[in-house]
Chains A and B, each alone.
Chain A
Amino acid sequence: MQLAVWTYEGPPHVGAMRVATAMEGLHYVLHAPQGDTYADLLFTMIERRAKRPPVTYTTFEARDLGKDTAQLFQDAAREAVARFAPEAIIVGASCTAELIQDDPGGLAEAMGLPVPAIPLELPSYSRKENWGAAETFYQIVRTLADRSLTRPPRAGRPARANILGPTALGFRHRDDLVEVRKILDCLGVEVNLVAPLGARPRDIAHIGAADFNIVLYPEIADEAARWLERTFAQPAVRTVPIGVGATRSFIAEVAELAGADPTPALGDTSSRLPWWSRSVDSTYLTGKRVFIFGDATHAIAAARIARKELGFEVCGLGCYNREFARDLRAEAAACGVEPLITDDHLAVEEAIAAAAPELVLGTQMERHIAKRLGLPCAVISAPVHVQDFPARHSPQMGFEGANVIFDTWVHPLVMGLEEHLLTMFREDFEFADEAGPSHLAAHSPRAPGGSRAASTPAPAHEAAPAPGPAPAAPEPAPADTGGPVWTAEAERELKKIPFFVRGKARRNTEAFAAAEGRSAIDLDTLYEAKAHYAR
Chain B
Amino acid sequence: MSALDLLEGCAAPVAPTAADPARAVLRERGQREVFCGLTGIIWLHRKMQDAFFLVVGSRTCAHLLQSAAGVMIFAEPRFATAILEERDLAGMADAQDELDRVVARLLARRPDIRTLFLVGSCPSEVIKLDLAKAAERLGARYLPEVRILNYSGSGIETTFTQGEDACLAALVPDMPALAPDAPAELLIVGALPDIVEDQFLRVFAAMGIERVRVLPARSARDLPAVGPGTRFLLAQPFLGATAMALEARGAQRIAALFPFGAEGTADWLRAAARAFGIAPEVAERVIAPGAERARRALARLRPELEGKRITFLPDSQLEVPLARFLQDELGMELVEVGTPYLHRAHLAPELARLAPGVRLAEGQHVERQLDRVRADRPDITVCGLGLANPLEAEGLTTKWAIELVFSPIHGFDQAADLAELFARPLRRHALLEV
Q: Closest approach, in angstroms, between the C-beta of A88 and any C-beta of chain B?
A: 20
Alpha-carbon separation in the docked complex, A1 to B39 (Å): 21
* B86 adjacent to chain A (CB < 8 Å): yes
- Using known A-B contacts A7-B63, A42-B67, determine if residue A33 contacts B393 with beta carbons closer than 8 Å: no
Question: Is the Cβ of B155 less than 8 Å from the Cβ of A72?
Answer: no
Question: Is the Cβ of B59 less than 8 Å from the Cβ of A10?
Answer: yes
* A68 adjacent to chain B (CB < 8 Å): yes
Binds B, one of A95-103, A227-235, A475-483: A95-103
Q: Which residues of chain B come closer than 8 Å to A124, judged between CB atoms?
A: 58-60
Alpha-carbon separation in the docked complex, A210 to B269 (Å): 73
* B106 adjacent to chain A (CB < 8 Å): yes
Q: Which residues of chain B come closer than 8 Å to A38, judged between CB atoms?
A: 35-36, 39, 64, 67-68, 386
Alpha-carbon separation in the docked complex, A58 to B388 (Å): 21
- Using known A-B contacts A10-B59, A11-B58, A38-B35, determine if residue A1 contacts B7 with beta carbons closer than 8 Å: no
* A35 adjacent to chain B (CB < 8 Å): yes
Question: Is the Cβ of A33 less than 8 Å from the Cβ of B36?
Answer: yes
Question: Is the Cβ of A52 less than 8 Å from the Cβ of B387?
Answer: yes
**A44 partner, pick from B84, B125, B367, B389, beta carbons under 8 A:** B389
Chain A 72-88 per-residue mask, 1 if CB under 8 angstroms from chain B, else 0: 10011001000100000
Alpha-carbon separation in the docked complex, A126 to B86 (Å): 6
Question: Is the Cβ of B106 less than 8 Å from the Cβ of A71?
Answer: no
* A37 adjacent to chain B (CB < 8 Å): yes
Name A's interface SS. mixed
Question: Is the Cβ of A45 less than 8 Å from the Cβ of B385?
Answer: yes
Chain B 122-162 per-residue mask, 1 if CB under 8 angstroms from chain A, else 0: 11011100000000000000000000000000111101000
* A50 adjacent to chain B (CB < 8 Å): yes
Max chain A CB contacts within 10 Å: which of B30, B56, B77?
A: B30
* B32 adjacent to chain A (CB < 8 Å): yes
Question: Is the Cβ of B63 less than 8 Å from the Cβ of A14?
Answer: yes
Alpha-carbon separation in the docked complex, A100 to B128 (Å): 12
Q: Which residues of chain B come closer than 8 Å to A111, judged between CB atoms?
A: none
* A287 adjacent to chain B (CB < 8 Å): no
Alpha-carbon separation in the docked complex, A126 to B156 (Å): 23
* B356 adjacent to chain A (CB < 8 Å): no
Q: Closest approach, in angstroms, between the C-beta of A84 and any C-beta of chain B?
A: 9
Q: Closest approach, in angstroms, between the C-beta of A98 and any C-beta of chain B?
A: 9
Q: Which residues of chain B come closer than 8 Å to A40, judged between CB atoms?
A: 33, 385-387
**B127 partner, pick from A49, A99, A123, beta carbons under 8 A:** A99
Question: Is the Cβ of B82 less than 8 Å from the Cβ of A2?
Answer: yes
Question: Is the Cβ of A1 less than 8 Å from the Cβ of B88?
Answer: yes
Question: Is the Cβ of B123 less than 8 Å from the Cβ of A96?
Answer: yes
Interface residues of B in 17-50 (CB under 8 A from A): 30-39
Q: Which residues of chain A come closer than 8 Å to B39, judged between CB atoms?
A: 35, 38
Chain A residue nearest to B156 (CB atoms) is A62
Q: Which residues of chain B come closer than 8 Å to A14, judged between CB atoms?
A: 60, 63
Question: Is the Cβ of B84 less than 8 Å from the Cβ of A34?
Answer: no
Alpha-carbon separation in the docked complex, A40 to B74 (Å): 22
* B369 adjacent to chain A (CB < 8 Å): no
- By size class, the interface of chain B is 35 or more
Interface residues of B in 56-89 (CB under 8 A from A): 56, 58-60, 62-64, 66-68, 71, 73-74, 77, 79-86, 88-89
Alpha-carbon separation in the docked complex, A123 to B60 (Å): 12
Alpha-carbon separation in the docked complex, A6 to B79 (Å): 10
Chain B residue nearest to A58 (CB atoms) is B31
Question: Is the Cβ of A34 less than 8 Å from the Cβ of B155?
Answer: yes
**A41 partner, pick from B36, B98, B127, B386, beta carbons under 8 A:** B386
Chain B 341-383 per-residue mask, 1 if CB under 8 angstroms from chain A, else 0: 0000000000000000000000000010000000000000000
Q: Closest approach, in angstroms, between the C-beta of B155 and any C-beta of chain A?
A: 3
Alpha-carbon separation in the docked complex, A35 to B67 (Å): 12
Q: Which residues of chain A come closer than 8 Å to B67, judged between CB atoms?
A: 38-39, 41-42
Question: Is the Cβ of B389 less than 8 Å from the Cβ of A95?
Answer: no
Q: Which residues of chain B come closer than 8 Å to A2, judged between CB atoms?
A: 82-83, 85
Alpha-carbon separation in the docked complex, A13 to B4 (Å): 25
Question: Is the Cβ of A34 less than 8 Å from the Cβ of B77?
Answer: no
Q: Which residues of chain B come closer than 8 Å to A60, judged between CB atoms?
A: 156
* A309 adjacent to chain B (CB < 8 Å): no
Q: Which residues of chain B come closer than 8 Å to A76, judged between CB atoms?
A: 7, 30-31
Q: Which residues of chain A come closer than 8 Å to B38, judged between CB atoms?
A: 35
* A65 adjacent to chain B (CB < 8 Å): yes
* B102 adjacent to chain A (CB < 8 Å): yes
Chain B residue nearest to A43 (CB atoms) is B386
Question: Is the Cβ of A11 less than 8 Å from the Cβ of B60?
Answer: yes
Alpha-carbon separation in the docked complex, A124 to B37 (Å): 21
Chain B 263-280 per-residue mask, 1 if CB under 8 angstroms from chain A, else 0: 000000000000000000
* A4 adjacent to chain B (CB < 8 Å): yes
Alpha-carbon separation in the docked complex, A36 to B35 (Å): 7
Alpha-carbon separation in the docked complex, A174 to B225 (Å): 58
Question: Is the Cβ of B85 less than 8 Å from the Cβ of A83?
Answer: no
- Using known A-B contacts A7-B63, A33-B155, A96-B123, determine if residue A57 contacts B86 with beta carbons closer than 8 Å: no
Q: Which residues of chain A come closer than 8 Å to B393, judged between CB atoms?
A: 50-51
Q: Which residues of chain B come closer than 8 Å to A34, judged between CB atoms?
A: 32, 34, 36, 155-156, 159
* A275 adjacent to chain B (CB < 8 Å): no
Interface residues of A in 1-31 (CB under 8 A from B): 1-7, 9-11, 13-14
Alpha-carbon separation in the docked complex, A110 to B84 (Å): 32
* A56 adjacent to chain B (CB < 8 Å): yes
* A59 adjacent to chain B (CB < 8 Å): yes
* A128 adjacent to chain B (CB < 8 Å): yes
Q: Which residues of chain A come closer than 8 Å to B80, judged between CB atoms?
A: 3-5
Question: Is the Cβ of B59 less than 8 Å from the Cβ of A128?
Answer: yes
Alpha-carbon separation in the docked complex, A7 to B69 (Å): 13
* B434 adjacent to chain A (CB < 8 Å): no
Q: Which residues of chain A come closer than 8 Å to B84, judged between CB atoms?
A: 1, 125
* A492 adjacent to chain B (CB < 8 Å): no
Chain B residue nearest to A30 (CB atoms) is B31
Interface residues of A in 418-448 (CB under 8 A from B): none
Chain B residue nearest to A46 (CB atoms) is B67
* B119 adjacent to chain A (CB < 8 Å): no
Q: Which residues of chain B come closer than 8 Å to A37, judged between CB atoms?
A: 31-35, 386
Q: Closest approach, in angstroms, between the C-beta of B329 and any C-beta of chain A?
A: 31
**B31 partner, pick from A56, A65, A94, beta carbons under 8 A:** A56
* A182 adjacent to chain B (CB < 8 Å): no
* A48 adjacent to chain B (CB < 8 Å): yes
Q: Which residues of chain B come closer than 8 Å to A125, judged between CB atoms?
A: 58-59, 84-86, 88-89
Question: Is the Cβ of B389 less than 8 Å from the Cβ of A48?
Answer: yes
Question: Is the Cβ of B7 less than 8 Å from the Cβ of A52?
Answer: no
- Using known A-B contacts A1-B85, A100-B126, determine if residue A6 contacts B66 with beta carbons closer than 8 Å: yes
Alpha-carbon separation in the docked complex, A4 to B85 (Å): 12
Q: Which residues of chain B come closer than 8 Å to A49, judged between CB atoms?
A: 389-390
Chain B residue nearest to A128 (CB atoms) is B59
Q: Which residues of chain A come closer than 8 Å to B73, judged between CB atoms?
A: 5-6
Q: Closest approach, in angstroms, between the C-beta of A204 and any C-beta of chain B?
A: 25
* A518 adjacent to chain B (CB < 8 Å): no
Question: Is the Cβ of B58 less than 8 Å from the Cβ of A35?
Answer: no
30 contacts between A and B (CB under 8 A): A1-B84, A2-B82, A3-B102, A3-B105, A4-B62, A4-B82, A4-B83, A6-B66, A11-B59, A34-B34, A34-B155, A35-B34, A35-B39, A35-B64, A35-B122, A36-B64, A38-B386, A39-B67, A44-B386, A50-B390, A61-B156, A62-B154, A71-B3, A72-B3, A95-B58, A95-B59, A100-B126, A123-B86, A125-B59, A368-B71
A35-B155, A38-B64 given; name 10 further pairs at CB < 8 Å: A1-B84, A5-B73, A35-B39, A35-B122, A35-B159, A37-B32, A44-B386, A68-B3, A71-B2, A125-B58
A interface list, Cβ under 8 A from B:
1-7, 9-11, 13-14, 33-42, 44-45, 48-52, 56-62, 65, 68, 71-72, 75-76, 79, 83, 94-96, 99-100, 123-126, 128, 365, 368, 372
B interface list, Cβ under 8 A from A:
2-4, 6-7, 30-39, 56, 58-60, 62-64, 66-68, 71, 73-74, 77, 79-86, 88-89, 95, 98-99, 101-102, 105-106, 122-123, 125-127, 154-157, 159, 367, 384-390, 392-393
The 4 closest A-B pairs by CB, nearest first: A35-B36, A35-B155, A40-B386, A50-B393
